[in-house]
Amino acid sequence: MATENNSKITAKWLYTVGRVLLFSLGCVIILIFCSGLAQNVSFKFNDHLSILSAALLTFLLILLFLKWEKLKLDNAGTIPGKYSISRFLCGYIIGFGMAASQALIVLIYGHFQLKLVPKISIIDILSPLLLYFFIACREELAFRSYSLRSLNISLGPILALTIIGIIFIIEHVAGGMTWKMAILGSGAGAILFGVSALKTKGLALSLGLHSAWNFGQWTFGFKNEPGIWQAVVEKGYESEIENVGLTAFLLVMGIAIAGVLFYYRNNKLSE
């Protein structure tokens, strides 16, 4: 009898993981499709259109998988609640502060400067602000809504966060990121955003953290292009500053994860 029950549990776990992998594949196909479609449109904000379209189609995919699994929209954490706005704003302030803290640590270390980009316009700032918000929306829907919550219900939070973290890392590697940066960078982000989503039973906090972190890194020139400031590394110290920046990143991410766990210590990770 025990063996039969264990077989049923194993089958349920495998079925859930398989369904989530299928959902993740669907999200990737949507992203590729929207990226290709946007390139054929003569429009100044092709990237914005591509990511926004991918986010909307990902949401529709969530609806299909929720119906398949006989879950409600609330089970995916996508329905705004009375704390959603405050959590998003709080997450945004913290996320931007994390990016600023990383830049400050590297500045204090030395051999690194931030030079204000001259003649930057409001449009030059608003465009990436909106783009990184759309990117965060798409990724939070793809990784922290149906997929994470479904795995959490069946497998528990540790396995759910681990599986989604691995998928998150692989997508970033496929997007051109090195394995080192994907495992340490995207991996730490997956834990922070995942814990935030599970603790609050919604996406507002993780969306605020995610979008602000990316925009903050762009602001301080940490996205391999000038933002409001341009990151300038002293010649010969490129590798050293990269490691310092990575260490600073892991430090602020670790503090943020600990902060979320402590602040929401009375909220369970599991369903």
Share of the chain above pLDDT 90, in %: 80
Task: State how far the Cα of 256 lies from the Cα of 254, in Å rounded to an integer.
Answer: 5
The one-character DSSP state at 185 is I
Mean pLDDT across the stretch 72-99?
93
Instruction: Describe the crossing of helices 238-263 and 187-200 by its angle, rounded to 10 degrees.
Output: 10
pLDDT of the residue at 75: 81
Residue in the block written with tokens 């030079």: 115
Give the tens place of pLDDT for each residue, 28-56.
999 999 988 877 666 678 899 999 999 99
Give the tens place of pLDDT for each residue, 216-234.
999 999 998 999 999 999 9
pLDDT of the residue at 72: 84
3-state secondary structure at position 230: strand
- Give burial (CB, 10 Å; 0-12/13-18/19+) of 233: middle
3-state secondary structure at position 233: strand
What are residue 116's DSSP bridge partners? 229
Number of helical H runs and strand E runs in the chain: 10, 2
Task: State how far the Cα of 206 lies from the Cα of 167, in Å rounded to an integer.
Answer: 17
Handedness of CA 67, 72, 73, 76 (dihedral sign): negative
The one-character DSSP state at 254 is H
pLDDT of the residue at 5: 56
Please state the three-class secondary structure of 95-138 as a single string: HHHHHHHHHHHHHHHCCEEEEECCCCCHHHHHHHHHHHHHHHHH
Give the tens place of pLDDT for each residue, 178-212.
999 999 999 999 999 999 999 999 999 999 999 99
The one-character DSSP state at 203 is S
